Amino acid sequence: MESPQAVKQRFEIIGNDPSLNRAIEKSIRVAPTDISVLVTGESGVGKESLPKIIHALSHRKHAKYIAVNCGAIPEGTIDSELFGHEKGAFTGANQARDGYFKEADGGTIFLDEVGELPLTTQVRLLRVLETGEFIKVGSSKVQKSNVRIVAATNVNMIEAIKKNKFREDLYYRLNTVEIHLSPLRERRADIHLLFRKFASDFALKYKMPTMRLTDKAVKALENCSWPGNIRQLKNVTEQISVLETEREIDETTLIHYLPKSSNLPSVISEEKRSKSDFSNEREILYKVLFDMKNDLNDLKKLTMELMENGNDESFKEENINLIKKVYGESAAEKEFTDESHEEQLEILQLPNQKKSRETEPRIEDPYDYAEDIEEEETLSLQHKEVELIKKSLDRHHGKRKPAADELGISERTLYRKIKQYDL
């Protein structure tokens, strides 16, 4: 069994981080077996290296190794790519074709971005994992394939299962052994090592001296979050190698090449926070509108019962809470005199209701409003309202609060009506 250091040299893997060494050790240990392996980690961390190690150290090393990017194949053709198809199976299928599972028989298939597989393809893949059997598209003949599957994904599989985007049984079948590769921001000691390796490679490629970083530039490089991980670091190194004429790169020069997206998490959090604030404000507005609707319904109910039951003490006792809610504590505590009760009814009563009250002893439906209200009736109601407000203000020596309590309206409404009628 090869040592992790020998494997890193053989496959040109750079880094001494403990998490990286642990991932390589697990790959070496599972390689001689045929169990399925799931490699997890963010995009750009180098997940494609581990399946190569597993295949090269297994007894299948002399058979084919096929890497398939599941996210790059259209949904309509992925079944044909993986399992093959018969002639005439679909439009454009001019001849029969073997899929990757047939081609890799006896070897290893690396399914990169396996979380992007359609659900129908996931069912077929589960059958291959469990029985080694598959059926070509457009065929009814069952075929056998002896392949080892190593999968990789940057998707949170547990979340994908909860959202019904990935089959739970397939996840546990693929995840016999899980190997996780940490992102570059958690392996800061490896960042400069990788930069030096890439700088050396590009110096040979473009036939120029190798770049070097000053101490401050090294710190700036290591403090960057590198959301694109190793792939992004390699691209930045190539840019500097090509564009800069000076071979010693200081901090000021390096900062121009560092990804601005290193601040992306804070920007995203601000966006989420603003969306959350907007959502909360909208919920508060809905609640206020809902409460206003309930208050209006309570006011209608109390008004109708007041007009039907009159100045009945038993009515007041039964509806004390409703009176407090609509008119306030002071309105619930004071006595309803015949005079004040009549005044409240006059304020709350609409013109057509007032007219019907003069001719009928009891109002059957206080909400049966007339479609057209005569102008003289509106003026009469307004005149009566002005008269009641003046009378109440005189009784309380111009004090608005007790006058408003007596009229059964808020002090703010009374103040508005005083301004409106120039009292």
- Using left for φ > 0, alpha for ψ between -120 and 50, and beta otherwise, residue 399 falls in beta
352: which strand partners? none
Whether domain 4-182 has CATH 3.60.20.10:
no
* Segments of the chain assigned to CATH 3.40.50.300: 4-182
> How long, in residues, is the chain?
423
pLDDT above 70 covers what percent of the chain? 75
d(CA 229, CA 308): 77
d(CA 112, CA 68): 6
Averaged over 324-350, what is the pLDDT?
Answer: 49
pLDDT at 89: 87
Lowest mean pLDDT among 23-32, 49-58, 88-97, 351-360: 351-360
The order of strands in the sheet holding 108-112 is 65-69, 108-112, 148-153, 37-40, 177-180
**Residue 276 exposed, middle or buried by CB count within 10 Å (0-12, 13-18, 19+):** exposed
Asked if the model's pLDDT at residue 49 lies above 60, the reply is yes
* Segments of the chain assigned to CATH 1.10.8.60: 188-258
CATH level 2 (architecture), domain 188-258: Orthogonal Bundle (1.10)
Average pLDDT, the chain: 81
**How much is the pTM?**
0.61
d(CA 403, CA 420): 17
Band of the pLDDT at 284, cuts 50, 70, 90? confident
Which residues have C-beta within 8 Å of that of residue 255, sequence separation ≥ 6? 220
226 vs 356 pLDDT, higher one: 226
Q: What is the pLDDT of residues 62-105, one digit of tens each?
A: 999 999 999 999 988 999 999 999 998 888 888 999 999 999 99
d(CA 79, CA 181): 29
d(CA 366, CA 355): 12
pLDDT at 384: 78
Place of tokens 């504590």: 329
Q: What is the pLDDT of residues 222-257, one digit of tens each?
A: 999 999 999 999 999 999 999 999 999 999 999 999
Instruction: Return the DSSP state at 155.
Output: S
Q: Which amino acid is at 165?
A: K
| Beta strands per DSSP E along 129-211 | 133-135, 142-144, 148-153, 177-180
Asked if the model's pLDDT at residue 197 lies above 80, the reply is yes
